[in-house]
Amino acid sequence: MKKIYLHIALLLISLWQPATAIEPGQRFVTVAFHDVVDSVADIEDDTVTTDRLIAFFDFLKGDGWTVLTLDDVQAAKNKTKTLPAKSVLITFDDGYESLYSRVFPLALAYNYPIVAALVGEWMDAPPSAMVPYGGKLVPRTKFLSWDAAREMQRSGLVEFASHTYSLHKDVLANPQGNRMPIAITQRFDEATGTYESQSQYEQFLIQNFKLDRAIFKRELKKLPRALVWPFGRYSEKSLDIAKRAGYQFALTLDPEPSDAADLLRIARYLPTRDPKLGEEIEYLRFQDRLPTVQRMACLDPAELISNSAQEFDRRLGVFIERTREMGVTNVVIPAAFVDQNQTVQSWFPTSASGVKSDDLSRIVWQVQTRAGVSPTISVPLKEMQRSGMSQSQIDHWFQDLGRMVPVQSLLIRDLQQVDRQNVIDKKAPVDGPWQTRAIRNHLDLTALPAYEQQAFKGVKTINAFRPGVQLYTLKHGEENFTVSDAIDLTLFTTSIDKNALNTAVNNIEQAGLLSKETTRRRVGLWLTDLAPPNPDQLSQASLYFQAHKGTAIGWCPDLWLQNHPNAAEVAPAVSAARFPLRP
């Protein structure tokens, strides 16, 4: 019963380590709880049992942890207070009734302050109402009453935060019918066949915040200082709107250490139901969040296109099922290509280039949600420059890509070594994506070659819409075998030919890239040839690189519609799937 809190304990202990981008005295950890139940039989995705919460509180008390308030975090931001090495902020989302009946008595008993986020739409409903929750209607009584909230507030231990008025929803995001979180999605209107404009999107958020803050003022006689993003989804634009609305703090679900220097991006760890011990420990050790293994396949949207929507869906289904069977972790999908007339054609709506079709957002979302893998968007930046696109057109293209497509990572070819600049500890190992991102954020782009300037500027633009986006690069084998700390993953291309493969691996080893744990998980092989590898070739290449401590490997082309290479044959050697298998 105490398993998940052992994992959290390991997380907390791990956070004593110094970080590349967080100053001493400003680093802490934030935990995002939801509902609390008494019986294991009542456990759902984000629930925990009362005895587990007690075990967690006992651990904090016995191990000398300081439980923070938002005032403590603000003081650390202002440099008027230094946070102890063992500091934790405890939060509860959604305002369940258990917040009053189970959590509040424990907060009083342990004298622990908490931050609790309330959803305005649910709280504003009458007691007898049914409210929309998780795609269904549930009784209003599932959530906290205003009387209970006022009692908790009077205790001085509970600060209530806004969980927005009605952003716990998804909306129609593209013509194909995918629904995505409303906080980061410009809605598609089926009636007009058009997308919501940026100004319409911004006005919707502004009105949502105004409505929620008015409810807090009416019921709790004070405005909320903190905003907790539903599903952890936000963008730079939504953060800016929240700040202008009066919020001083914003809490996300970015799985990384919290930094008091950035009150509008307080990262939080989300405990989920009964994770496996080894997997959860690996996941929660924030000082070591690099992937242990990556398997990457490619998908050209052109291979899905058909005159029939049903045939498109059938082909996409074939790809997704094969991807799951092979145990792939990443799918590389080009966002655009250059046609025979040297015109850039994109797979998403943009006024900066030609548009072949509006299919990229659907493909990316389906790959992410149905296949359970990470979509990596390939950007043909050199081809775009050679086609005659101006710098301003390319900047606008990146902006449209970030607005319209749920990007998680970008692949841009031929990025060279980029040195760290202006980071706290230039010698600290890069062992988490937040550290690589911090290094990118501190780059002086004017000091970089023109190609790198455009690439990193594009990544920054995407990150404004999709915070946390990662950057990968593809380098040809004849180039220097070096990696940049500003890049999350560097893939070296090689033929599947045995001699070429051996040479590439030897060069990577001689460069010292496989000798350190935190470095070798940021380099990999990209197998490419005129034809896709056969099962024996791909299996042998994967096992060979793995034997040399390599962890990331990808290949292209891949005849997925013909199942070549055969998924069942290569899966035992290639698969990155773990037990239990993906649902």
Residue 274 lies in a domain: yes
Question: Which pLDDT does position 566 carry in this prediction?
Answer: 92
Read off the pLDDT of each residue in 5-30 and give the average, rounded to a whole number: 59
Pair (309, 392) in one structural domain: yes
Pair (266, 307) in one structural domain: no
Mean pLDDT of the chain, nearest integer: 88
**Of 146, 226, 237, nearest in space to 186 by CA:** 237
Residue 483 lies in a domain: yes
Residue 580 lies in a domain: no
**Which tens digits make up the pLDDT trace of 139-182?**
999 999 999 999 999 999 999 999 999 998 889 999 999 998 88
Residue 502 lies in a domain: yes
Pair (431, 406) in one structural domain: yes
Pair (156, 250) in one structural domain: yes
Question: Which pLDDT does position 274 carry in this prediction?
Answer: 41
User: Which residues have CB under 8 Å from 24's CB, separation 6+?
Assistant: 18, 82
Pair (153, 57) in one structural domain: yes
Checking if the pLDDT of 456 tops 90, the result is: yes
Residue 375 lies in a domain: yes
Packing angle, helices 391-404 and 450-465, rounded to 10: 30
pLDDT above 90 as % of the chain: 68
**Which tens digits make up the pLDDT trace of 516-543?**
888 898 999 999 988 899 999 999 999 9
User: Which residues have CB under 8 Å from 62's CB, separation 6+?
Assistant: none
Residue 569 lies in a domain: yes
Read off the pLDDT of each residue in 258-284 and give the average, rounded to a whole number: 66
Pair (242, 308) in one structural domain: no
Structure tokens at 174: 């593209």
Residue-wise DSSP of 431-500: -SHHHHHHHHHT--GGGS-HHHHHHHHHHHHHHHHSTT-EEEEEE-TTS-----TT-SEEEEEE-SSHHH
Which of 253, 287, 321 terminates a domain? The answer is 287
User: Which residues have CB under 8 Å from 214's CB, separation 6+?
Assistant: none
Domain count, the chain: 2
**Which tens digits make up the pLDDT trace of 208-257?**
999 999 999 999 999 999 999 998 888 888 999 999 999 999 999 988 88
Pair (453, 416) in one structural domain: yes
**Of 454, 364, 455, 377, nearest in space to 410 by CA:** 377
Which of 287, 322, 348 terminates a domain? The answer is 287
Pair (324, 251) in one structural domain: no
Whole-number Å distance between alpha carbons of 555 and 573 = 14
pLDDT category at 276 given cuts 50, 70, 90 is very low
Checking if the pLDDT of 207 tops 50, the result is: yes
Which of 287, 320, 339 terminates a domain? The answer is 287
Residue 581 lies in a domain: no
Range of the domain at 389: 290-574
Q: What letter would DSSP give residue 100?
A: I
Pair (341, 355) in one structural domain: yes
**Which tens digits make up the pLDDT trace of 35-79?**
998 877 666 777 888 888 888 888 889 888 899 999 999 999 999
CATH code for the domain in which residue 227 is found: 3.20.20.370
**C-alpha Rg value of the chain to the nearest Å:** 24
pLDDT category at 279 given cuts 50, 70, 90 is very low
Pair (67, 79) in one structural domain: yes
Checking if the pLDDT of 391 tops 70, the result is: yes
Residue 582 lies in a domain: no
User: Which residues have CB under 8 Å from 476's CB, separation 6+?
Assistant: 414, 492, 493
Read off the pLDDT of each residue in 277-306 and give the average, rounded to a whole number: 70
pLDDT category at 322 given cuts 50, 70, 90 is very high
Pair (55, 67) in one structural domain: yes
**Of 366, 348, 367, 350, nearest in space to 358 by CA:** 348
Whole-number Å distance between alpha carbons of 534 and 558 = 10
Question: Which pLDDT does position 256 carry in this prediction?
Answer: 84
CATH code for the domain in which residue 415 is found: 3.20.20.80
Does the reported pTM lie above 0.95?
Answer: no
Pair (241, 146) in one structural domain: yes
